[in-house]
Amino acid sequence: MGDSLPRQYEEFTARFPGLAAGWEQLGTAARQGALDAKTVALVKLALAIGSRQEGPVHSATRKALAAGCDVTDLEQVVALSASTLGMPRCVAAWTWMRDITDER
């Protein structure tokens, strides 16, 4: 997969370009503020982990790496989830993150 978007995402946004444009605009507006790009990416990863969804964790991991985060940054975010979400959820997030980091 590398740095490319998942095929399903590309197909969906090609089919619904207005929705894709609105989604991009929402994301751009949400990133405006005091946090730098790396911090934003780590917060987004934490939110994805907290939502307990594999796809968003994959996406947030890719975006965090692209923002300049290293694997140790991502690992710490995953480890921090253990005390809030529990070990089983933390280990699940770990495996989802590694799906992407192990590709590189």
What pLDDT digit, counting tens, does each position of 22-32 carry?
Answer: 989 998 898 88
| Arithmetic mean of pLDDT, 49-75 | 97
Which residues are CB-contacts of 30 (< 8 A; sequence separation ≥ 6)? none
- Compute the distance between CA of residue 46 and CA of residue 60 in angstroms, rounded to an integer: 9
- Compute the distance between CA of residue 100 and CA of residue 65 in angstroms, rounded to an integer: 10
| Arithmetic mean of pLDDT, 87-102 | 97
Output the average pLDDT for the chain: 93
Q: Which pLDDT belongs to residue 30?
A: 84
Is 60 exceeded by the pLDDT of residue 3? Answer: no
Quick check: pTM over 0.85?
no
